[in-house]
Amino acid sequence: MSESNFTTKFLKLFGIDNQGHNRRDPLNVWVPLISVGLALIFGMIVIAASGRNPFQAYGLLFGDSGLIPGGPAWRREFAELLIKSAMYIATGLSVALAFKGGLFNIGAEGQFWVGAIVATFFGYWAPVAHTFGAMYAALGSFGWIAQLLHGAICVIMGMLAGGAWAAVAGYLYVKRGVNIVIGTIMLNWIAWFLITSWLVIGPMTPPSQTFTSGTFYVADTAKLWRIMMPTRLNTSILLVLLAAYATWFLLYKTTVGYEIRAIGYTANIGMEAPRAQGINISRRILQLMFFSGALAALGGTFFILGMQYQFPNTAIMGYGWTGIAIALIGQSEPLGVVLAGLFIGALRTGATSMQVANIPKTFSDIIEGMAVGFIAMQVAVRYYLVKIIQHRHARRDPPADQEAAA
Amino acid sequence: MSIIQINLTIAQMLDYTMPILFAALCGVLSESAGVVNIGLDGIMRFGAFFGLLGAFFSHSPWIGLLFGIAIGCLVGALHAFITIRWNGDQTVSGVAINVIAVGLMTYLLEYVFSTTGYSPQIQNYFGAQAYRVHLPFLAKIPLLGAFSNLSFMIWFGFICTVLMHVLLYHTVLGLRIRTCGENPKAATTLGINVFRIRWFAVIVGAALAGIGGATLSISSFSGFSDSMPNGVGFIGLAAMIFGKWTPFGALGAALLFGTGQIVQSIIAVTGIAPKLAPGLTLILPYVLTLAVLAGFVGKSIAPAADGLPYYKEQR
Q: Tell me the mean pLDDT in the region A306-333.
A: 90
Average pLDDT value over all residues in chain B:
87
Instruction: Indicate if the pLDDT at residue B45 is higher than 60.
Output: yes
More confident: B137 or A149 = A149
Residue of B119, B290, B301, B310 best to disrupt the A interface, most CBs of A under 10 A: B290
Nearest Cβ partner for A178 among B237, B293, B314: B293
pLDDT-based confidence at A7, cuts 50/70/90?
low
Which residues, in sequence order, are CB contacts of B200 under 8 Å at separation 6+?
Answer: B33, B177
Instruction: Indicate if the pLDDT at residue A5 is higher than 60.
Output: no
Closest-CA distance of chain B to residue A2, Å = 9
- Within an 8 Å CB–CB cutoff, is residue A95 touching chain B? no
Closest-CA distance of chain B to residue A135, Å = 37
- Within an 8 Å CB–CB cutoff, is residue A160 touching chain B? no
For A315, B26, B40, the CA distances from B63, given in Å and listed in that order, are: 36, 21, 22
Closest-CA distance of chain A to residue B205, Å = 19
Q: Tell me the mean pLDDT in the region A147-155.
A: 92
- B92-127: per-residue pLDDT in tens? 999 999 999 999 999 999 888 888 888 888 888 888
pLDDT-based confidence at B270, cuts 50/70/90?
low
Instruction: Indicate if the pLDDT at residue A18 is higher than 90.
Output: no
**Residue B246 has what pLDDT?**
93
- Size of the A and B interface in Cβ pairs below 8 Å: 169
Closest-CA distance of chain B to residue A151, Å = 29
Q: Tell me the mean pLDDT in the region A60-85.
A: 86
Q: Tell me the mean pLDDT in the region A67-80.
A: 84
**Residue B242 has what pLDDT?**
87
pLDDT-based confidence at B299, cuts 50/70/90?
low
Q: Which residue of B has its CA nearest to A4?
A: B311
Q: Tell me the mean pLDDT in the region B236-248.
A: 91
Q: Tell me the mean pLDDT in the region B217-245.
A: 89
Nearest Cβ partner for B99 among A5, A104, A365: A365
Asked if residues B167 and B175 have their Cβ atoms less than 8 Å apart, the reply is no
Which 310-339 residues of chain A touch chain B by CB within 8 A?
318, 321-322, 324-325, 328
Instruction: Indicate if the pLDDT at residue B142 is higher than 60.
Output: yes
Residue of B90, B100, B192 best to disrupt the A interface, most CBs of A under 10 A: B100
User: SS3 of A329, please?
Assistant: helix
Asked if residues A39 and A33 have their Cβ atoms less than 8 Å apart, the reply is no
- Chain B CB contacts of A363 below 8 Å: 103, 107
pLDDT-based confidence at B203, cuts 50/70/90?
very high
Strand bridging mode B149-151 / B132-134: antiparallel
Which residue in A361, A128, A90, A133 sits closest to A236, CA to CA? A90
- Within an 8 Å CB–CB cutoff, is residue A365 touching chain B? yes
**Residue A37 has what pLDDT?**
93
Average pLDDT value over all residues in chain A:
86
- A86-117: per-residue pLDDT in tens? 999 999 999 999 999 999 999 999 999 999 99
ipTM of the complex: 0.87
CB contact under 8 A, A318 and B85: no
Nearest Cβ partner for B294 among A19, A176, A365: A176
Closest-CA distance of chain A to residue B141, Å = 38
pLDDT-based confidence at A14, cuts 50/70/90?
very low
Residue type, B60: S
Q: Which of A217-221, A363-367, B214-218, B263-267 has the lowest mean pLDDT?
A: B263-267
Q: How far apart are CA A60 and CA A350, in angstroms?
A: 7
- Chain B CB contacts of A4 below 8 Å: 87, 195, 310-312
- Within an 8 Å CB–CB cutoff, is residue A3 touching chain B? yes
CB contact under 8 A, B107 and A372: no
**Residue A2 has what pLDDT?**
42
Residue of A362, A368, A370, A381 best to disrupt the B interface, most CBs of B under 10 A: A362
**Residue A406 has what pLDDT?**
45
**Residue B176 has what pLDDT?**
93
pLDDT-based confidence at A20, cuts 50/70/90?
very low
Q: How far apart are CA A90 and CA A310, in angstroms?
A: 19
**Residue A212 has what pLDDT?**
64
Instruction: Indicate if the pLDDT at residue A19 is higher than 50.
Output: no
pLDDT-above-90 percentage for chain B:
48
Mind giving me the DSSP string for chain B?
--HHHHHHHHHHHHHHHHHHHHHHHHHHHHHHTT---TTHHHHHHHHHHHHHHHHHHHS-HHHHHHHHHHHHHHHHHHHHIIIIIS---HHHHHHHHHHHHHHHHHHHHHHHH--SSBPPP-SSSTTSGGGEEE-GGGTTSTTGGGGGEEEHHHHHHHHHHHHHHHHHHHSHHHHHHHHHHH-HHHHHHTT--HHHHHHHHHHHHHHHHHHHHHHIIIIISSS-BTTTTTTHHHHHHHHHHHTTT-HHHHHHHHHHHHHHHHHHHHHHHHTSSS---HHHHHTHHHHHHHHHHTTSSS-----TTTT----TT--
- Chain A CB contacts of B100 below 8 Å: 365-366, 369-370, 373
Asked if residues B79 and A372 have their Cβ atoms less than 8 Å apart, the reply is no
CATH architecture of B3-293: Orthogonal Bundle (1.10)
What residues does each domain of chain A span? 1-52+362-406, 85-358
**Residue A399 has what pLDDT?**
55
Q: How far apart are CA B279 and CA B286, in angstroms?
A: 12
- Within an 8 Å CB–CB cutoff, is residue A142 touching chain B? no
2.60.40, 1.10.3470, 1.10.10, 4.10.240: CATH of A85-358? 1.10.3470
Instruction: Indicate if the pLDDT at residue B272 is higher than 70.
Output: no
- Within an 8 Å CB–CB cutoff, is residue A18 touching chain B? yes
- Within an 8 Å CB–CB cutoff, is residue A231 touching chain B? no
Indicate the burial class of B304 (C-beta count within 10 angstroms; 0-12, 13-18, 19 or more).
exposed
pLDDT-above-90 percentage for chain A:
46
Q: Which residue of A has its CA nearest to B277?
A: A198
pLDDT-based confidence at A24, cuts 50/70/90?
low
Closest-CA distance of chain A to residue B184, Å = 13
- B143-194: per-residue pLDDT in tens? 777 788 888 899 999 999 999 999 999 999 999 999 999 999 899 988 999 9
Closest-CA distance of chain B to residue A230, Å = 32
Q: Tell me the mean pLDDT in the region B216-229.
A: 89
- A347-359: per-residue pLDDT in tens? 999 888 888 878 8
More confident: A17 or B243 = B243
CB contact under 8 A, B93 and A380: no
What residues does each domain of chain B span? 3-293
CB contact under 8 A, A106 and B83: no
Buried-exposed string B78-100: b where 16+ CB fall within 10 A, e elsewhere = bbbbbbbbbbbbbbbbbbbbbbb
More confident: A324 or A18 = A324
Q: Tell me the mean pLDDT in the region A243-250.
A: 95
Instruction: Indicate if the pLDDT at residue A16 is higher than 70.
Output: no
**Residue B101 has what pLDDT?**
94
**Residue A201 has what pLDDT?**
79
CB contact under 8 A, B87 and A4: yes
